[in-house]
A and B are shown apart, each in its own frame.
Chain A
């Protein structure tokens, strides 16, 4: 049974989430302050942390940074702000995904499943030789990609982009991080490069590039590679 730690100061939301998550078979821990959340994360070792960005004592982004100093536990940010800048800040500080309030329980559960699978995958093999994401199989050493068993021709840049997203599958990777990892330092603001390369990649790996099921866009924030069965 997966353990979920919810850090949010809204008691009513904790109660609503708690009821729904318990009914879905999760074990629930709750914290109303950032400090308490950090303490419980250390003591109880949850499988996923749901973190509100507006806490009374600590900024949510700060909680995220402190968690990342010692744990790789998936962090899904609950954001009521609606501003993209805050989400990007949280993702760059080590959060894996975000969900915007108000959200439905099925949507939340889908994010939890992605986060949990991501955690298991990371726990399994730190330096994978091949990575599988749904129908995509990536041979890291041989720099080759197969989709549904058929080889696909990728440019070196496309391969690097796909490989980086695959190594971080399930996580929302911000534009800035993708550009710096794949293109290098100094490319942090050239988001139009990304749009072009992601479109090329979709044509090569998606069954229907107009309705992507593997390579998702978070408008204004970044991209995320998920297995189609995870995306709920």
Chain B
């Protein structure tokens, strides 16, 4: 950040200017003296104007004055006869001397003014750059707080301060909201309180005891004070802090408002999804209840003659729907555990292929909707190092999903294999419409289904989100591939138990018929 140019100390400039003029005149005099018999005194006077002009550019008007005096003396002493005396001699020599002085001073004045204007323009450009960089810095950070710290760090470096901080003056004692550099002493802060409270803020920065405080006034109110501490803080830098603080206040406020807007938008979205989830959950709970109620009320209605087939149909409906409620409640419980970060994995060495069979048999026709399910596995499949309750739930959800989305009575295959040493892959293969590559990652998100457009989301979409969480909790993962010939293949990779092998061929057709 370009504070450096404008903070360069002015007395150094003057000294440099004096050196240039006086040195220049000495050099020019030395160079011209051997030829003084061959050139006119007027020509020497013209040459002696040059060091004055150069001195002004470096050191400003004081250098011009010094240069004119030195040049005047050198001109008189070395180039006006009689040489080596200060006597002027003829009257026309006076004219030369006076013209030299007037021209030297006039040129000095003009050049000095140009130089000042140039420096002023440079300073403005620097300030603009600083302010611009500031707003960019706040906007570039993910949070306003981070942006604030970065700006203070930058500012501290630019003005060579030991500390740059934002201090809030709400409440009885000032409170440091962000600080970069050395910590304030406690007595510094205590001293700051009454100063901030009593100071006349319109008079510019408040300076007290190595501390400079500038109010951060945003359009909607005061955000606090920018406080800079340092032993060698220049007035120039201090002056620049005022527009800096003004711009900083506006930028910080804008960033805060934007942050607030984003936060409330996010909350709104979460709110909307939560109520959508509630709607979907209550729909999923009510549907089995509606079936159970209709069936039970029928069985209880003595005015209706039901035959044995009817009774069996109604009773098995009740059983299936009770199971469906159980699965939904299990998913809801898992979800709340996952959300609370309380999903506990109790690992035991488990034969995964047997677990798959158990789940498929338990689900039966009602869940699998008449899809024939084939289960097969590698012959020398290692045991899985898994929580079988959780993996049971994962397989249930995957099979329910495959049955829901596969075509009528389309076959489902569950293939368990060990492709990568130390890991067991379960493939659940359906022949449904498949899943777009673009959708494959998002489908495991909690609210995926609920985000879908359409007259009604078909279910809560909890199932796949839970599968994902369970796979991750095991240190494994879940992903989707395309089934050759159409359809989706869900692959779950789970850890194998170390150094245990089991054998036993498994290839059974568990047709759901």
A binding-site residues for B, Cβ under 8 Å? 10-13, 15-17, 19-20, 22-24, 54-59, 80-82, 101-108
Contact = CB atoms under 8 A, between A and B. Distances in A.
Contact of B456 (A11, A55, A106): A55
A59 B287 CA distance: 17
B306 A23 contact: yes
B282 to A, nearest CB: 8
Contacts, number: 97
A113 B314 CA distance: 23
Given A20-B298, A23-B304, A80-B287, A102 B293 contact: yes
Interface residues of B, number: 33
Contact of A12 (B288, B306, B455, B458): B288
B127 interface: no
Interface string B256-297: 000000000000000000000000001100111111111111
Contacts of A102: 286, 289-290, 292-294
Nearest to A18: B313
Given A12-B317, A20-B294, A101 B455 contact: no
A103 B301 CA distance: 13
B286 A10 contact: no
B344 interface: no
A20 B458 contact: no
B310 interface: yes
Nearest to B320: A12
B112 interface: no
A31 B295 CA distance: 19
A22 B314 CA distance: 13
Given A55-B455, A102-B294, A19 B288 contact: no
A13 B313 CA distance: 11
Contacts of B289: 101-102
A16 B298 contact: yes
Contacts of A20: 294-295, 297-298, 304, 314
Contacts of B286: 80, 82, 101-102
B334 interface: no
Contacts of B314: 16, 19-20
A104 B297 contact: yes
Contacts of A55: 455-456
Given A23-B304, A81-B283, 4 more contacts: A16-B294, A102-B292, A103-B294, A105-B301
Contacts of B301: 104-106
Nearest to A15: B317
Nearest to B369: A11
A82 B195 CA distance: 64
Task: Identify the 5 closest CB pairs spanning chains A and B, nearest first.
Answer: A104-B297, A102-B293, A101-B290, A102-B290, A20-B298
B253 interface: no
B313 A15 contact: yes
B353 interface: no
A107 B301 CA distance: 11
A19 B324 CA distance: 20
B305 interface: yes
B321 interface: yes
